[in-house]
C-alpha cells in the first residue's frame, strides 16, 4: 500500500501540494486528474523521490520512502512519462533491459524478460527488439516505455500522462493494454492524466486535484453520481452521465436467476455493453456467462435502466 501523510511541497512559500493524506490500495489503479498546474506531477514525483516533500511523508508498505536508499527506491518503482524518455542511441531491447542490467541480472535473464514483455505488449521481439527509437511509431515507443518501466517487476508503477501523445485509436488500445497488464501482474498503478474520460475508464479510484489538494478521492461511479464539489461536477461534465455510469458498472451484481435465448454477455461486461447488445439484437433480457462460458443467469433491461438513474436526492 502507498500512503501519504500530510504530504506538502512548497515553492517560494506557496503550497503546490497541500497537506494531502490518502492511501492507495495494493493492486489497484488510481487516476490522479486535475487541471494544469494543480500539483499532479509534483505529487507523483514525491513517491519516487525525484522531488522531496517540504513536510509530511510518503510510505510504501509502511516504510517512509525518505529512509530508503534513493537509487534502490527508484529502481524498484516503474516510471513512465509522456514522450517515453527512451535512450535514442539504444535499441528497444536495450532500453527495456536498462534497470535489470543495473540490478546485475544475467544477460540470459534480461533477454528472456525483454522478450516476455514485448510479447505481453503484443510486439514481436525479433522484429521490434533490434529497432532504435526513431524506427518506432509513437504507439510502439509508448509500449517500449511501459515495458521498460515493468522490466524489473516493480510492485508500483507511476505514470505521468503516459498516453498524452497518442492518437485516439492507439490511445484506447494502450489503455486496454494497461488494464490487461494490471489484471495480469497485480501492479499498484498511479496514473496522472488531465483526461477525465481516461481516469473514469482506467481508475479503480480517482483523485481529483485542485490547487494542491484532493478535492475528491472516490471510486469512479461515485465521482460521476455524487461529485463532491462544483469543480468535480464540471470536470465530469453533464453530458451522457447515465451512459457513463452504466459503462462503469459490471453486469455481475445485477444478475437475476433465469434463462434467456441467444448469445450470452460476460458477467464482467459493463451494463452499457449489455444495453447496447440488447438494442442491437432486439432483446429485453440476455443470458450471462462467466469467462469459462458457464451460464450464471440473466440481465434484464429494466434493471439496467434503473442502474443508470440518478440516486434519489436526499
Applying CB under 6 A, which residues contact ligand ATP? Answer: 11, 16, 34, 36-42, 194
Of 94, 200, 82, the residue nearest 142 (C-alpha): 82
Task: Tell me the closest approach of the beta carbon of residue 135 to ligand ATP, in angstroms.
Answer: 29
Closest approach, Cβ 18 to ligand ATP, in A, equals 11
Q: How far is the CB of 225 from ligand ATP (least distance, A)?
A: 25
In the complex with ligand ATP, the residue whose CB is nearer, 44 or 151, is 44
What is the spatial distance between Cα 273 and Cα 165, in angstroms, rounded to a whole number? 28
**Shortest Cβ 187–ligand ATP spacing (Å):** 22
What region, left, alpha or beta, does residue 32 occupy, with left being phi > 0 and alpha being psi -120 to 50 degrees? beta
| CB closer to ligand ATP, 38 vs 114 | 38
* Consecutive H or E run containing 110: helix 107-120
Please state the closest distance from residue 11 (CB atom) to ligand ATP, in A: 3
The 3 state secondary structure assigned to 125-190 is: HHHHCCCCHHHCCHHHHHHHHHHHHHCCCCCEEEEECCCCCCCHHHHHHHHHHHHHHHHHHCCEEE
256 beta partners: 298
Q: Which is nearer to ligand ATP, 32 or 286 (CB)?
A: 32
Give min distance, CB of 118 to ligand ATP, in A.
Answer: 30
Rank residues 20 and 181 by Cβ distance to ligand ATP and give the closer one: 20
CB of 64 to ligand ATP, least distance (A): 22
Sign of the alpha-carbon dihedral angle for 230, 232, 237, 242: negative
Measured CA to CA in angstroms, residue 292 lies from 77, 179, 186, 261, 296 at distances of: 35, 20, 21, 18, 11
Query: Cβ closer to ligand ATP: 38 or 270?
Result: 38
**Residue 151 or 223 with smaller CB distance to ligand ATP:** 223
Q: Give whichever of 56 and 252 is closer to ligand ATP, judged by the CB atom.
A: 56
Amino acid at each position: 500500500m502507498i500512503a501519504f501523510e500530510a504530504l506538502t511541497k512548497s515553492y517560494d512559500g506557496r503550497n503546490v501540494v497541500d497537506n494531502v493524506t490518502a492511501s492507495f490500495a495494493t493492486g489497484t489503479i488510481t487516476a490522479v486528474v486535475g487541471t494544469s498546474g494543480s500539483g499532479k506531477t509534483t505529487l507523483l514525483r514525491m513517491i519516487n523521490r525525484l522531488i522531496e516533500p517540504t513536510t509530511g511523508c510518503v510510505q510504501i508498505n509502511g516504510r517512509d520512502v525518505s529512509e530508503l536508499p534513493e537509487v534502490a527506491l527508484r529502481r524498484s518503482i516503474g516510471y513512465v512519462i509522456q514522450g517515453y524518455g527512451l535512450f535514442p542511441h539504444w535499441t528497444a531491447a536495450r532500453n527495456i533491459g536498462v534497470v535489470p542490467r543495473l540490478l546485475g541480472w544475467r544477460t540470459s535473464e534480461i533477454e528472456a524478460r525483454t522478450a516476455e514483455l514485448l510479447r505481453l505488449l503484443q510486439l514481436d521481439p525479433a522484429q521490434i527488439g533490434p529497432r532504435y527509437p526513431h524506427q518506432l511509431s509513437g504507439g510502439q515507443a509508448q509500449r517500449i516505455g511501459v515495458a521498460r518501466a515493468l522490466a524489473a517487476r516493480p510492485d508500483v508503477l507511476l505514470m505521468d500522462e503516459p498516453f498524452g501523445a497518442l492518437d485516439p485509436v492507439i490511445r484506447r488500445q494502450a489503455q486496454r493494454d494497461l488494464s490487461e497488464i494490471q489484471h495480469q501482474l497485480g501492479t499498484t498503478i498511479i496514473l496522472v492524466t488531465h483526461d477525465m474520460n481516461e481516469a473514469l475508464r482506467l481508475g479503480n479510484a480517482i483523485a481529483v486535484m485542485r490547487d494542491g489538494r484532493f478535492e475528491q478521492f472516490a471510486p469512479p461511479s461515485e465521482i460521476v453520481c455524487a461529485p463532491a464539489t462544483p469543480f468535480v461536477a464540471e470536470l465530469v461534465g453533464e453530458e451522457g452521465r447515465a451512459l457513463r455510469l452504466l459503462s462503469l458498472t459490471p453486469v455481475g451484481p445485477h444478475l437475476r436467476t433465469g434463462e434467456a435465448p441467444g448469445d450470452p454477455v460476460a458477467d464482467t461486461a459493463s451494463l452499457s455493453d449489455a444495453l447496447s447488445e440488447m438494442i442491437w439484437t432486439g432483446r429485453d433480457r440476455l443470458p450471462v456467462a462467466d469467462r469459462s462460458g458457464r451460464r450464471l443467469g440473466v440481465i434484464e433491461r429494466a434493471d439496467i435502466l434503473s442502474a443508470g438513474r440518478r440516486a434519489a436526492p436526499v
